[in-house]
Every structure is written in structure tokens, then in C-alpha cells.
Structure 1
């Protein structure tokens, strides 16, 4: 049952998460007061270069009888402020409390859940006629891709929460969705391959080794070296194991969708499939890193995730040439021993509910849309320090 807060009789203005993100992107500087418990704030929060986030839990705005506190708690910045919490409930109370005390304050509609429903589109420029759209979920850094060639389209690493959007965007471009592909069995978000296929005539495509992990639904299985015909081009299947045994990338001309193998500022962690086999997985990831050494410098890397401090390129997308990563990431300077040590030491916390999410993505469990959305809230934590 949702907590009841005192009635303050104060009108509170709100702002949608989408509007807040747009205004931050436009260069406005904001101070956000997060009213969740400190542990929740430290684990996962709204981040942006133009945002300063401060945590003062909502309990500081209540007295021992759950009535409004007598004074403004310490640590509350001067206005203007925007307040945020998990669902927009406690933060709305806090916004009303501060408005009554003379603060210039707005409350984020639906809180972090509203932030988690954002999905941004950016056009990726390639050296071919392929139309590539990158979808970015700011709350978790998850990236998905729509590839359009002629009247056919493929979506790579779709999120369940936005399945219908990929189908709609393909149709807006005069294409039908032919494939819904996953690069691997995701641990941080619920896959949308089956949902996207259900809303179109798309064929579900997953790496063949996912079957060995217990895949329990019908799909086309693809292995290293295979190709998928898409309109006037081909998608090459490239095995890039290490993060998981089935981790696979998809390449079209100079564009390589790397999934969770190589990111823009790091590489993948090796322990989410089998914690006890992390060192062996790291050695496999080393071989994958060596495979990247054979690719042309001009290869455009399009990862499956970005971190909270990753900045987009001048075109607004989270892509870059492989030559840039070779120069900028320490993992490309490591020998095998140093590399294995780097990717197995000081691993971050695992993604929230990752075991349940893996079971869902293998088709071994089921859940409602609301349950799936709640499961994937939080940071993705699929990378290590690069």
C-alpha cells in the first residue's frame, strides 16, 4: 500500500521526465532533490552533465508523528529545484513542503519510473545507404538499433518496454520488420524480440549457443560467419564471447553492433552467466579483444550500453570508430594477464533482479508487463572499468 502523506494545501507544479531531459540537453542547469532513501539514491539516480543531484530523504520532512517537519531539513539546496523519487509520490509532498516555505520547485511526474519510460532516437550516419536508428534509454543506458534497407528492417537488442515503437519506426520508414535480433541473453533488461515479432511478421533471431543456456522458445539460431539478408544488404554474424558464451555482434559494412562486448569507455564484465567461471570467461573476452584487433580502424562501434558518464559524439549518437577506442581504452594496452585481472577485479554490483530477468529472456519464466518493467528498474552494471 502506498504511503499517505500529510495534506499541505499547496499547489505543486510538475514537469515530465521527457521535458526535463530535453531542457537539460538544451543546456539548462538544474538542481535535483532526490527524496528516496540514501541507499536507493546511491544505487541509481538521474544523471546528466547539466544536473546536480542532492539526496535528502522524504523522512527528513516529517516529524515523529508523520506530520510536516517544523523546519526545512539541512542539506536542501536553494531554489530553483526539481524533486524526484521512485514514483512521484514522496517527491510531490516534499515539493509542496518547500513551495510552502518559499522555494521555487517542480516535481518530476512519476519519478524514476517516468524517467525509465524515456526512449530517445538518434540517426547514425554510416558509409552506406543503410538507415540506422539508435534508441537510447537514459535511465539504464540501454541501446537498441533499427536497421532499414529498402523495404525491410531489423531491430537489434530491442527492449520489451518499447517493442511497439520499433515496429512503428520501421513502418514510418516504409519498411516491414523482418528480424528481431538479440546479441545475447540479457541480464539487465527484458528482451523485446518476441514482443516485437508478435506485433509484426518479424523472425526472432538469437545466437545458437543460447540454446545451451536453456533457451525455451522457438527462434532462428545463428552462428559465427552466417549472414542474414536484409533488403539490399546483408547482416554478418560475428561471435564475440566473454560477457556470455553466446555473445554475438552483427555487422553491416563498416558498422558493428557489439552488444555487450565492447563499449565506448569499457568492456563487458564476465561473471553474469556463471560467477564461478568468470576467469575463464575473461580469457575468452581476451580472445574477443584480439579479434577486434583484426578489424579496420574505420569500423564504427555501436555498443549495447553506455554508462552514466559516457558522452555522445558530435552527431548525438553513442558510436565511435574503433581507432578511437584503441587509443583511448586501457584494455587495448593490456597483455592477457593484465586484461584478465582488470575485468575480474572489483566488479560492480550485479544488475537488479538479474537472475529473474535471465529466466524471462530464456523463456523459462513469464511475467506481466508491469512486473517486467519493475524488474528492470535500476542501473545496468554490465561493464567494467575500461
Structure 2
């Protein structure tokens, strides 16, 4: 792969999320953009997305695609907001259909609703190559965290979504619907098989105390130092450590708000009869709650 693009990271402090503008000359794509959402107040803002727009305008970039690595469960996507202002199609992995199937039932959304059927302009398969002017983008299916997880290889850079974290944090969880420890193991080993100087760009960082945040890690460092899955980790060892960690993890704080928006390609639910928009929270009732 010959293109060697420039990568501009944007960090969303509240959710620990990295978003990226990747560009070569004036040709560019946006990866995993974030919408600002304050859960206690229900307030939606667009400062983070506007910072991305300001960078695009200042550098006179043409955005060819807005790319999602998967339907995120920990932040709301601003893909629809950017699409409306940049006239750029939104793309995600073809596995999004199974994610939509599951969560449309959770939220009581008609699976045939055009808000789901037409949520994304492009559904991408493993091995596809997207052309974005001077940029050539190889699609790598990296399931395991979710069924729709993709990585995007652009030159010597790979944008890995939640599949991998910094070495001292580890790997994605696998306990979401459609998740698979065995698939994640295979996906990470696929990434670790890339040349050692390949740069893996992360979607999140949760740095331990005393370390500054990181947006990237090389393949060589990750396969040597990743605390949960390094070059010498067997599948059986990974199954044990990953399943034990997942059993103790709480649900992401923004799980339900995020997925209601993100399976719609970043669009908010439609307004109700009162003109307001609502995000719902399915309740999980413990036994013996009669009378509530």
C-alpha cells in the first residue's frame, strides 16, 4: 500500500474516545466521530463534531466517507450530523444487520423501519477497498467485540476500533450480543501479523494513573506487550482471562442511549406527538418485583 496519509486525532474526554480525520492532500475521511451527550440533563451538543468540521474547513479538505468501526455502545455517533454538512456517505461493516436485528427488538423498533434499513449508505465486507481520492482504504473484518467490528487499513496505519487498546489496558470485551472471544483472538492475531512498524490507531484510551493518553501503538509493541493477548498467548489462556474479566464488567454507562442512536447511523429517535425526542431505557426487573 503506497499512500501515507496524515492523521489528525481528536479526543473526547467524557467518553475516552478517539476520532480521526485521515487525509492525503485534500482527500480525507472521518473515522468514529462523537456527538456530545450529557445523560443527566438529556442535553445534546455538537462541539466535538464542530471541532472536526473546523479542522476540515481550515485545511480545505474534501471528505469522501464517514467511517464507523462498529455500532458503539459507549458514545453517541455524530455521523449523521457530519453527513448532513459534508454530503459524505456513512459506512459501517455489513455485520451491522445482526446488531440492528438484536437491538431493534430491545427498543421496540420495527425492523423494517427505513431509519434502520437506510441508516448507512455503505455496508462493507472484508477485503473491500474503498477509494477516497488519493486514499486507498482496505476493509478488514475484525469481529469479536461485536459482530460488525471493522478495522480500516490506510497505508501503514490501521484504525482498529475497540478491538485493541494500549498494551497496559488490553483488549475489547466480548460479552455484548454477537461478541465472541474466539473471534476476537483471531482478529487480534490478524492485526498482530501485520508488519511491526504498522501503526494501530485506537478508538479508546483509559490510561492508568501516571500515564498520558495514547492514540496509537505499533504492531510490534502490541504483540510484545499487550497484557491480555501478546504473541505468546494461547487461545485457552485468552479465553480464561477474557471471560473472567467480562464477568466482572458493568454495562457501559451510555449503552442504551448510544445504541438507539448508532444503529440508526447517528440519527436521533423521531419526535413524539409532543414534539420531543426521547431515549428509552429497557428495565431489567429482579424477581419478586410484583406491584411495582
TM range, smaller chain: 0.7 to 0.9
* 1:337 and 2:236 are equivalent in the alignment: yes
> 2: CA distance between counterparts of 1:238 and 1:301?
13
Match of 1:198 in 2: 84
Partner of 2:93: 207
Q: Which structure would you say has the larger RCO, counting Cα contacts within 8 Å and 6 or more residues apart?
A: 2
1:366 aligns with 2:263: no
Question: Distance in 1 between the 2:208 and 2:33 partners?
Answer: 23
Residue 246 of structure 2 corresponds to residue 349 of structure 1? no
Q: 1:49-78 CA deviation, whole Å, 9 max, x = no partner?
A: xxxxxxxxxxxxxxxxxxxxxxxxxxxxxx
Correspondence 1:148-227 to 2 at 5 A: 148-161=23-36, 162-214=48-100, 215-216=116-117, 217-227=119-129
Structure 2 distance, partners of 1:367, 1:336, is 44
**Cα distance in structure 2, aligned partners of 1:261 and 1:180:** 19
Instruction: Please say if 1:137 is aligned against 2:41.
Output: no
- Tell me if the contact between 2:201 and 2:216 (Cα under 8 Å) persists in the aligned partners: yes
Question: In 2 relative to 1, CA 235–267 (structure 1 residues): closer, same or farther, beyond 3 Å?
Answer: same
Offset of residue 156 of structure 1: 0.3
How many residue pairs end up in the alignment?
239
Moved over 6 A (4+): 370-373
1:359 match: secondary structure: helix
Is contact 1:141-1:308 (8 Å) kept? no
Give the greater-gyration-radius structure (CA). Answer: 1
CA distance in structure 2 between the partners assigned to 1:354 and 1:282 by the alignment = 20
Aligned to 1:303: 202
TM-score (ref. length: structure 2): 0.75
Give unmatched runs, 5+ long, in structure 2. 37-47, 101-115, 282-292
Secondary structure at 2:145 match in 1 = coil
2:4, 2:245 → 1: CA distance?
43
Q: Distance in 2 between matches of 1:360 and 1:341?
A: 33
Q: Kindly state the Cα deviation for residue 203 of structure 1 after the two structures are TM-superposed.
A: 1.0
Moved more, 352-361 or 291-300: 352-361
Deviations 1:146-202 (A, max 9, x none): 011222221000002322322221121121222111000100000111111011111
Structure-1 residue corresponding to 2:161: 259
